[in-house]
Structure 1
Amino acid sequence: MPLAPGAAPSPAQKALRKLGLVRPIDLALHLPLRYEDETRITPLKNAREGSVVQIEATVTASEVQLQPRRQLLVQVDDGTATCELRFFSFYPSHLKTLAVGARLRIRGEVKGGFWGRQMLHPAFKAAGGELPSALTPVYPTTAGLPQPYLRRAVVTALQRVELSETLPPGAPLPPIAIYSQNGLQPLPSLREALTFLHHPSPDVALATLEDHSHPAWQRLKAEELLAQQLSQQQSKRERERLRAPVLQARTPADGGLPLPAQLLAVLPFALTAAQQRVGQEIAADLALPVPMHRLLQGDVGSGKTVVAALAAAVSMDAGWQCALMAPTEILAEQHFAKMIGWLEPLLAARGQRVAWLVGGQKKKERAAMLALIESGEAALVVGTHAVIQEQVRFKNLALALIDEQHRFGVAQRLALRQKLAHHGMEPHLLMMTATPIPRTLAMSYYADLDVSVIDELPPGRTPIVTKLIADSRKDEVIARIGAQVAAGRQVYWVCPLIEESEALDLSNATATHADLSEALPGVMVGLLHSRMASSEKKAVMALFSGGHMGVLVSTTVIEVGVDVPNASLMVIEHAERFGLSQLHQLRGRVGRGAAASACVLLYATNDSGRVGETAKERLRAMQETNDGFEIARRDLEIRGPGEFLGARQSGDALLRFADLATDTALLEWARALAPWMLERHPELAARHVARWLGGRQDYLKA
């Protein structure tokens, strides 16, 4: 509710703000979780056990009992039957309202019992007054924000909010088939849809409200998807108006090879057809004066790194800097060690360097790196999110490569794009992910992105066999590890993720390390976790990569980027606790050499010997397919888009009403309408986006 000028906000107003309910439209779009039917009085004799009903009855007895625990027992009679009301928590005011002789309107769940009908903690108030004509909404709320206050705030907001039509005249209507006995009904306006959803008539089929199939819900979903598509299309058009450096490889004056050609000449392998195709798509983008905004997706081990190295070579050959950013230090180091190995000798011949920037660097080393970057001597900068900190000043950054882009918050990606602002331009952006994006998600959240797909694996990769084994058979798995190590192979053992506590993760990994060391005498068993110093992590990885260490016990720090071709067995303990894309990433650490490889998913069952339904779906998907795209599709089904995209990092609720799994037709409609609307009706488009997204458009643009 609006504040009087100069007045301090009440606790309820603060709670509204906490929920993001600031504008009238925010409250209008704050929809009920469920509804209560207070429109009718049910005679007690007709109330079925387990049903929630509203009765009008007179109190015939009321007493506080102290045994077996303090409780208030109230007998009521509505003239057709009697019922006992039982309260375990109550106030003196309740005793007054529930006094013998009081006539009450009571709502609760009817339970049958040995002593007759009963209601536990029902809602009650003095009888009288007209019954409401619509269902009573129950809203999502927070501490300090009671339902009656929230209901009044929503009613006030609905009266004040501006909800004029933003769908242009002549625009194709969303595909919402609305039939009744009289045939096709007109599409409800946004105001009609919202008014109905806040106060539905009692004759509505509740199932259509719960599954969001009701026409009023459909109208909201169509509007929301249109706002999202308009915002994406706007940002694409804005980006097309921005300038970026034109990057093309140059033939040196001495007639030698351009840097990308030199790189291809030193590679110990030939590119696959898919890598060549994607490389050409990226090179074509870099040659334009418009910032590239491209997502490179390819399954684990498909060879994205070399494609990124070629893009970096084009940028550096044109005389500009390139930055490579990875979410973890181990990934930055492992994943790009190859790239530096390929590029550093070529850069050295040109008098250029590679700079390394991570969080835990010594002050002196960091200062030296910052100086190299600012002078431009460092043509390539590799690191973690330290690359985008304010004190990092590039001379002329033209290309930013972000690996596992979904692991970075949106604000971090936006910060990277500011690094060329002093030139009045934006760097080209190539984002990479081994978590393929399902089609509906790409259409929705990446509508302003060009997507390149590496859809074939390099030759020589062996298929990985995935086995599900109950943790009661752990001893058999350890015996298998012994045999693998004896045959000269190496093994990863990944410890479970305990989200509540990093300390528990650590103690678990330490205990597993001790158990395996004892069970495998004569085998070097290493331990790797996120709390180790950078130098310790490097030393452990060097021993494992060099083949000296037989088994590496690790927390999920090895999830991405670790490449040890001799490792042929991956054991994931408590696999039921991991997400699907994470399990797929971990599995991708083996099968990188010629040896037959396996991934063992050790799962724990509950007391009844079962695994939870969602966990079972994930484990089944892992066993049935190695295809990253199929894994991603199932992951989206199980988790929904918000978690899949790392939306929580941005603090941004992505889609509140639409569901990408079921609303594909509405998404197609919004996607087709958005460019037409921006072209023909830009004012209506701007109003529509402002209404739905407020200040959140910037997040969608990243």
Structure 2
Amino acid sequence: MAARNAPTDAAAPAPAAAAPAAPKLSAPARALQKLGLDSPIALALHLPLRYEDETRLTAVRDARPGETVQVEGHIQHCKVELRPRRQLVATLEDNAGDELVLRFVNFYPSHQKTLAAGQRVRVRGELRSGFWGREMVHPTFKAVQDDAPLADALTPVYPAAAQLPQTYLRKAVAAGLSRAALHEVLPPGTVPKGLPPLREALNFLHHPPPGTPLSTLEDHSHPAWQRLKFEELLAQQLSQMQSRRERARLAAPRLVARSGALRDQLLATLPWGLTGAQQRVVDEITADLAGGQPMHRLLQGDVGAGKTVVAALAACVAIDAGWQCALMAPTEILAEQHFAKLLQWLQPLGVKVAWLTGSRKGKARREALAQLASGEAALAVGTHAVIQDDVQFARLGLAVVDEQHRFGVAQRLALRRKLQGAEEADGAPGPALEPHLLMMSATPIPRTLAMTYYADLEVSTIDELPPGRTPIVTKVFAESRREEVIARIRDEVAKGRQVYWVCPLIEESEAEATPDSGGGGWGGKPLSELSNATETHQTLSEALPGVQVGLIHGRLPPAEKAAVMGAFSAGQTAVLVATTVIEVGVDVPNASLMVIEHAERFGLAQLHQLRGRVGRGAVASVCVLLFSTPLSETGKQRLKAMAETTDGFEIARRDLEIRGPGEFMGARQSGDALLRFADLAQDGALLAQARTLAPQLLDRHTAAASAQVARWLGAKAEFLKA
């Protein structure tokens, strides 16, 4: 390329000298950048994981086995021993003449140099009673001069990465802390009593003085920790309340259904009546749609509570008022379930429904796009394909996002931006209109989470299941009882029932690359040992001769997925082996048994969703959770919660305690968890104080409120509006 663009005229000026190359960063500096520690404030907020007490020395004779202590003395001798294995062994003698053996299985020439006979060293580690007396294995150590001063604060140990030594990181953090702009932005009297100034709090957390109770640092109950949590929660509340106020100033189409029109027609055709809870949330949504401000409502309800029909009634209101509606779901299977239901309900009423997914291409896609652009199609149903650039709506007034936490935050923001700029239905000039937004979730939101991440939302809750649903019995079995479970499958199939068997992996080759869908790691068992869907399908096919066993997973082409699900829904397939692709949306009332293999590997909310695929009819249903050993403490908590309750709100509360808010927010997909320091399970009192203070700051101290949000959230504030 450079040769083609070189000047050919001999009289042309000589090219300018090349800019000097940027200095090459050292490995530790590159590691700092990778951790995002590229500014003074980022370094100041990089808090220690734990602390080491290097402020005092302990005599060897006073140290007790099992204690972590720091001792000092001269090295008497140091040698490499070859038996029972190659190791470096040094003997230290303290000032009282007592000896301590230092043992290193992994060592370098620098170890031998520092621990040479005659050197004075300071070592820190766990004291043990060894065969040859008191010893430490792999202690930390450094050479010191006589009367070298001790540390005057606890030594921080920071979260780090490969090629980032603690000594380098400590110096970087100290430099960042000294340069960071940590002036007080909150007006006097607004910080809760007993909490220190921000700079004082951070200085304390990075360098706690001797005698500080480590328990208050480890459980984050110290006032210095409380100050950081309060600052963060206040910024989050300010951001949410700003978003709510900004939305209140926007205009939205007034969607008012005519009396006796489409919504009433749909209700008349349904073979069942709405529950009291459904009717209540329909009234709440209808009132929002009729207002002149954009609806921003979360519709939550447990698995099988009847959210889809509520969304359909909301769509009827929008369509009846002359506007279009879009429904977006995270997976093609779930989107197709919605499409089938809405087509069944609305097509007889004269509503044109367009189907948009990534797999729909060619003429069928072009026709769907044309119908939406012209307004012929009043309702679009699909996956993320609904927000692609080539999708244009004539008059989009309402968007429904199902399982909203399954979408990346950036995707939800893209949907909102696509919907902006609608015009009045009659073409009359007026203010730019925002669409109404209804988000649905079968993962109920715990109260503390609703008060924080969803503080700018109105929340409607369907807390009543439709009549005729039977409770699901949950049983927890070790994997050694697989044969009993297969025998139960034979019994269910003989009765004409259907069965799900869910596995975490598709096939053996996927084992090394598959992450834990539950957010907790695969635990102690190698991935290659976990049962996989293809192998289980073969095993069950052999164990159940004459029984049709199907297989579905995310790698199947869409047409094959549809065929497999169609056969299961029609009752032609008795047993369906699946990955978590069937987690949401699949509705087969005849399915009475759900088996989840390696259940300890799944997240609690995901287990609850999978369990909800059975118990959707009048048949008594069972969910069997098969677990493998060793079972981690987190795994035990998950299985215990599943066995004890089928209440989605209680499940959500326990899930928040176990895993934090990341999964509810789709935080993995947005890059970072939106709360670094506060713990919603423990910091309810601070949250309440922040909620009380936030509107006062917005009303009386606007500049301080903006500075608070900018300092703590920055660009992440936009994610809170998704």
Normalization by structure 1: what TM-score?
A: 0.92
Give the structure 2 partner of residue 179 of structure 1: none
Query: Could you say what secondary structure the match of 2:350 adopts?
Result: helix
Query: Could you say what secondary structure the match of 1:125 adopts?
Result: strand
Give the structure 2 partner of residue 277 of structure 1: 280
Q: 2:166 aligns with which of 120, 123, 147?
A: 147
Give the structure 2 partner of residue 180 of structure 1: none
CA distance in 2: counterparts of 1:305 and 1:87, whole angstroms: 64
Cα deviation per residue 1:60-92 (whole Å; 9 max; x = unaligned)? 112233444433222221132111222233333
Larger deviation, residues 310-319 vs 615-624: 615-624
Correspondence 1:78 to 2:94: yes
Q: What is the deviation of 1:480?
A: 2.3
Using the aligned pairs only, state the percent identity. Answer: 68
Cα deviation per residue 1:160-205 (whole Å; 9 max; x = unaligned)? 222222332343x43x6xxxxxxxxx43111111111100011111
Check whether the contact 1:397–1:419 (CA below 8 A) recurs between aligned residues: no
Query: Could you say what secondary structure the match of 1:491 adopts?
Result: strand
Give the structure 1 partner of residue 576 of structure 2: 552
Give the structure 1 partner of residue 336 of structure 2: 333
Q: What is the deviation of 1:225?
A: 0.9
Q: What is the deviation of 1:267?
A: 1.5
Give the structure 2 partner of residue 246 of structure 1: 254
Correspondence 1:535 to 2:538: no
For 1:219-618, list aligned pairs within 5 A. Answer: 219-250=227-258, 257-348=260-351, 353-423=352-422, 424-497=432-505, 500-501=512-513, 508-606=532-630, 611-618=631-638
Query: Could you say what secondary structure the match of 2:129 adopts?
Result: coil
Query: Could you say what secondary structure the match of 1:402 adopts?
Result: strand
Using a 3 Å threshold, how does the CA distance of structure 1 residues 246 and 306 change in structure 2: closer, same or farther?
Answer: same
CA distance in 1: counterparts of 2:664 and 2:320, whole angstroms: 37
Q: Which amino acid aligns with 1:661?
A: A
Check whether the contact 1:322–1:398 (CA below 8 A) recurs between aligned residues: yes
Q: Which amino acid aligns with 2:452?
A: S
CA distance in 1: counterparts of 2:50 and 2:21, whole angstroms: 35
Give the structure 2 partner of residue 668 of structure 1: 688
CA distance in 1: counterparts of 2:262 and 2:480, whole angstroms: 55
Q: Which amino acid aligns with 2:711?
A: R
Q: What is the deviation of 1:33?
A: 0.8
Query: Could you say what secondary structure the match of 1:377 adopts?
Result: coil
Check whether the contact 2:530–2:598 (CA below 8 A) recurs between aligned residues: no
Q: 2:119 aligns with which of 81, 91, 102?
A: 102
Query: Could you say what secondary structure the match of 1:381 adopts?
Result: strand
CA distance in 2: counterparts of 1:603 and 1:151, whole angstroms: 43
Cα deviation per residue 1:570-625 (whole Å; 9 max; x = unaligned)? 2222222222211211121122222222222223344xxxx433222222222222
Larger deviation, residues 33-42 vs 476-485: 476-485
Check whether the contact 2:421–2:434 (CA below 8 A) recurs between aligned residues: no
CA distance in 1: counterparts of 2:528 and 2:129, whole angstroms: 46
Q: What is the deviation of 1:626?
A: 1.6
Check whether the contact 1:247–1:287 (CA below 8 A) recurs between aligned residues: yes
CA distance in 2: counterparts of 1:375 and 1:600, whole angstroms: 50
Q: What is the deviation of 1:497?
A: 4.9
CA distance in 1: counterparts of 2:111 and 2:569, whole angstroms: 71
Q: What is the deviation of 1:5?
A: 12
Check whether the contact 2:182–2:199 (CA below 8 A) recurs between aligned residues: yes
Q: What is the deviation of 1:656?
A: 1.4
Q: Which amino acid aligns with 2:292?
A: P
CA distance in 2: counterparts of 1:91 and 1:589, whole angstroms: 58
Using a 3 Å threshold, how does the CA distance of structure 1 residues 635 and 137 change in structure 2: closer, same or farther?
Answer: same
Q: 1:35 aligns with which of 51, 57, 61?
A: 51
Query: Could you say what secondary structure the match of 1:117 adopts?
Result: strand
Give the structure 2 partner of residue 16 of structure 1: 32
CA distance in 1: counterparts of 2:637 and 2:92, whole angstroms: 49
Correspondence 1:648 to 2:668: yes
Query: Could you say what secondary structure the match of 2:80 adopts?
Result: strand
Check whether the contact 2:405–2:663 (CA below 8 A) recurs between aligned residues: no
CA distance in 2: counterparts of 1:282 and 1:529, whole angstroms: 36
Give the structure 1 partner of residue 79 of structure 2: 63
Give the structure 2 partner of residue 693 of structure 1: 713
Give the structure 2 partner of residue 183 of structure 1: none
Q: 1:205 aligns with which of 201, 208, 213?
A: 213
Query: Could you say what secondary structure the match of 2:692 adopts?
Result: helix
Cα deviation per residue 1:356-386 (whole Å; 9 max; x = unaligned)? 1111223332222222222222211111111
Normalization by structure 2: what TM-score?
A: 0.89
CA distance in 2: counterparts of 1:239 and 1:515, whole angstroms: 56
CA distance in 2: counterparts of 1:22 and 1:440, whole angstroms: 32
For 1:191-202, list aligned pairs within 5 A. Answer: 191-202=199-210
Using a 3 Å threshold, how does the CA distance of structure 1 residues 42 and 414 change in structure 2: closer, same or farther?
Answer: same
Q: What is the deviation of 1:285?
A: 1.1
Q: Which amino acid aligns with 1:642?
A: G
CA distance in 2: counterparts of 1:242 and 1:500, whole angstroms: 50
Query: Could you say what secondary structure the match of 2:159 adopts?
Result: coil
Q: 2:154 aligns with which of 126, 135, 141?
A: 135
Gaps in structure 2 of 5+ consecutive residues: 1-19, 423-431, 515-526
Cα deviation per residue 1:245-277 (whole Å; 9 max; x = unaligned)? 2222236xxxxx422122112222111111111
CA distance in 2: counterparts of 1:493 and 1:5, whole angstroms: 58
CA distance in 2: counterparts of 1:359 and 1:659, whole angstroms: 39
CA distance in 2: counterparts of 1:234 and 1:23, whole angstroms: 27
Q: Which amino acid aligns with 1:228?
A: Q
Using a 3 Å threshold, how does the CA distance of structure 1 residues 149 and 613 change in structure 2: closer, same or farther?
Answer: closer
Q: Which amino acid aligns with 2:416?
A: R
Using a 3 Å threshold, how does the CA distance of structure 1 residues 506 and 264 change in structure 2: closer, same or farther?
Answer: farther
CA distance in 2: counterparts of 1:131 and 1:617, whole angstroms: 44
Give the structure 2 partner of residue 124 of structure 1: 141
Check whether the contact 1:497–1:556 (CA below 8 A) recurs between aligned residues: no
Query: Could you say what secondary structure the match of 2:461 adopts?
Result: strand
Query: Could you say what secondary structure the match of 1:39 adopts?
Result: coil
Q: Which amino acid aligns with 2:134?
A: R
Q: Which amino acid aligns with 1:403?
A: D
Larger deviation, residues 421-430 vs 407-416: 421-430
Using a 3 Å threshold, how does the CA distance of structure 1 residues 654 and 497 change in structure 2: closer, same or farther?
Answer: farther
Check whether the contact 2:477–2:626 (CA below 8 A) recurs between aligned residues: yes
Query: Could you say what secondary structure the match of 1:285 adopts?
Result: helix
Q: Which amino acid aligns with 2:128?
A: K
Query: Could you say what secondary structure the match of 1:378 adopts?
Result: coil
Q: What is the deviation of 1:125?
A: 2.1
Give the structure 2 partner of residue 54 of structure 1: 70
CA distance in 1: counterparts of 2:184 and 2:408, whole angstroms: 35
Q: Which amino acid aligns with 2:217?
A: L
Check whether the contact 1:635–1:644 (CA below 8 A) recurs between aligned residues: no
Check whether the contact 1:230–1:675 (CA below 8 A) recurs between aligned residues: yes
Q: What is the deviation of 1:333?
A: 0.7
Gaps in structure 1 of 5+ consecutive residues: 177-185, 252-256
Query: Could you say what secondary structure the match of 1:695 adopts?
Result: helix
Q: Which amino acid aligns with 2:165?
A: P
Check whether the contact 1:419–1:426 (CA below 8 A) recurs between aligned residues: no
CA distance in 1: counterparts of 2:534 and 2:419, whole angstroms: 45
Check whether the contact 1:354–1:378 (CA below 8 A) recurs between aligned residues: yes
